[in-house]
A and B are shown apart, each in its own frame.
Chain A
């Protein structure tokens, strides 16, 4: 419970219409099922929720928190357990009123956005100016800012647009103490074009590999790198999803690539990365796609040998796209991808020969509209993230994730999606790859409450085998960091020191990040 006088101080910052302690309102911020390891959908009910509309209001709230020792956490679109309050007596800052694109700089190819601008919105506006943005695998309804500053950042356009950890340029940051700092070039008043200055470069401290999950204050503005978009300003479509009809631009090509086994998939991936071609690249196993798109059908047929055999034979499946700036470039990239296929005994399916499917997949891949199909089979999913490593090291991690997952499918603790639902992409040519094994389940089913055990087993095996850091439990905070830390240069100790230095009072909800320490 917040003291009435303290509540009034918050109210003075945002106005009475933009703060609430009505229990029915608060429960909207208490419920989270995705990545929630407990059987209950309810986490801690916060004491209040506020809707600031500016950096000044965010700063005002944080200062009140510091005066009265009230914990806080901010979220943008608010999806996933890491947005839930770690404590009952804290205040949630829902940043949805901070919803402006402040600038799209065509010359320097970046956008300056507030926290509640989604990838979908930015893409729509950027394309009008011949630019595009990296959309993370979680989908187009996620916050651009959050994927840059606070959580993850990987997606299907990694092959051409990198990773939002590195796409983040300038940042405006309200520290847990209430001070406002600007990272990168805006820190020296020189505009928002560079994350490393002139001005302070603290990107590693700000987010590290995966982000502090709201545990290091509030990010209020971010400049994010944009990339060339050779397509039209707007692709008009008729329909909503499966029925979408759109004219795919001539300079856009979409393919399904199939490989007979893991090794040849890996070799082809290296070839594509080395060739520096491609706009979209993602491993999307057939079993995963079928389960996501046709869950009722898969429920009926997944156990049948014929179906398993069919899915198994096409599981090393890649969605690949080209967006070329000229006919010559298109011809070159097409020639290269066909050579890569031939060299690795693959099969190439040109989606252009299947117009309805191509329309569906254009938005599915370009805008990541396929992502939310993960909810279709059971309403919930989790991710046994197995690595941010090289493509080669990803392969055994994929096998590990699939093997452990299959045990849980066999006992009915997960939905049968053929087990191999490992999606993955390469980044910055072949610098690193991200492989992520999804688990679908129905948290309404009492038998399907064990996903966290899969993650725990994967983490333990990754550590035992020294296969690199898995990020599957990163949202679980201190516990998992303590597990990984000793095997990874004691990074967890540095995290605790960073937390202590920036948040000496421990007010920025540490639950998804780490407690302060020495």
Chain B
């Protein structure tokens, strides 16, 4: 059991519960002081980051068995990584999130998977996407956009849409908008169309490490064959997989990997994208976990004494993408950004990650609604994000409520400001 490799981390837990809280200097109110959706929703200590370490020790010492009840605790976690950020402020020698991952690998190894996750992984095996939608329809979103097919011709930039944006028709405007913005800026853009496959990240998060390795291997060879110099994605989930999970399983793509917000910010800096249309809107920005703390590049460190681990190798969340989306927002005429209390490294999760959207929709909805409440408290007219999974969560949450809050991807907002809002 690889969990054993983290026994020292586990035994180091002081049960201080710092993992449950927003980093102390950033606590601004009683209502937005907590950072972990799991412990906040389910309350028993085992649902916290530290509680999961203790659960790992219970398993290692055979104090408890890996039963359905235990698997249920393990999987009721959005794997947002907020516990890791708060813990790492004080501890160099505990990698909370790695332990949480190992608990899930153990579930899969011991046949304690959840049916919803098995269905998702089966769908991936059959159709190369998490929804089980026809592989042949994967590129339909790009119809009539005139993008290059990298299977047929070379392109400088490979645009990877990801499963959610390829198949969620409600978000079609996001992906078409993002691709059009780049294309209009003169970027030599290509897509894989029906041959694009899932990044494998969601399989990894529910415990199927091998699936990720398989997809990463396949993806690396496709990227290499494409001859592109950059890989750009509008999906934060995919971005997190490329930046953090692929290196973790030893796969490097060998090209520059960018989230579309990073690339757009760069193009804006070069004057290639110039938003001029006033969009009078007060917005708040939601940091997607997989773009922020879980989009932090992973670097393998071989040492044993983690107190000596250089900070560049320590996953603290601080090297995620936080400034680029805010920089873009600042350049949109008449758009006013009002920040929520929990932002950047300590943002509250939308609830979609870690297989929670698939297996525990009520928990997903609860977490999204918490965030919607926080957004509404700012007085914003729109909550803007940069991840289709977050956008889907907020949109679904708001469908049940009578609130005047628009949910937008940053690329949708940018398209408005460019006067080129695409058809969906």
Contact = CB atoms under 8 A, between A and B. Distances in A.
B17 interface: yes
A118 B34 CA distance: 11
A234 B16 contact: no
B11 A41 contact: yes
A125 B13 CA distance: 30
Contacts of A377: 307
Interface in A1-33: 18, 20, 22-25, 27-29, 31-33
Given A77-B17, A141-B16, A240-B89, A31 B30 contact: no
B92 interface: yes
Contacts of B93: 379
A345 to B, nearest CB: 35
Contacts of B346: 240
B25 A240 contact: yes
Interface residues of A, number: 59
Q: Which among A25, A117, A125, A239 has the greatest number of chain B C-beta atoms within 10 A?
A: A25
Q: Which among B15, B33, B43, B73 has the greatest number of chain A C-beta atoms within 10 A?
A: B15
Interface stretch (B55-63, B156-164, B375-383): B55-63
A363 B392 CA distance: 37
Q: Which among B13, B307, B308 has the greatest number of chain A C-beta atoms within 10 A?
A: B307
Given A24-B64, A96-B43, A31 B26 contact: no
Interface stretch (B44-52, B349-357, B416-424): B44-52
Q: Which among B24, B29, B30, B63 has the greatest number of chain A C-beta atoms within 10 A?
A: B24
A335 B58 CA distance: 58
Nearest to B306: A296
A94 interface: yes
Contacts of A140: 24, 27
Interface in A122-169: 122, 124-125, 139-141
A296 B308 contact: yes
A410 B379 CA distance: 60
B318 interface: yes
A121 interface: yes
B90 A373 contact: yes
Interface string B177-202: 00000000000000000000000000
B280 interface: no
Interface string A423-448: 00000000000000000001110000
Nearest to B63: A27
Given A78-B15, A141-B17, A443-B11, A28 B46 contact: yes
Contacts, number: 153
A97 B43 CA distance: 8
A241 interface: yes
Contact of A237 (B13, B25, B308): B25
B85 interface: yes
Contact of A375 (B21, B25, B73, B90): B90
Q: Which among A34, A234, A372 has the greatest number of chain B C-beta atoms within 10 A?
A: A372
Interface residues of B, number: 47
Contact of B12 (A25, A367, A444): A444
B90 A31 contact: no
Interface string B242-259: 000000000000000000
A125 B30 contact: yes
Contacts of B101: none
Contacts of A375: 14, 16, 90-91
8 contacts: A23-B63, A27-B54, A28-B46, A28-B55, A51-B43, A97-B43, A100-B30, A141-B17
Interface of A: 18, 20, 22-25, 27-29, 31-34, 41-42, 49, 51, 77-79, 94, 96-97, 100-101, 117-118, 120-122, 124-125, 139-141, 234, 237, 239-241, 243-244, 246, 295-296, 299, 363, 367, 369, 372-373, 375-377, 379-380, 442-444
Given A125-B29, A239-B25, A377-B307, 11 more contacts: A24-B70, A31-B15, A51-B43, A94-B43, A118-B21, A120-B27, A237-B25, A240-B316, A240-B318, A296-B307, A380-B14
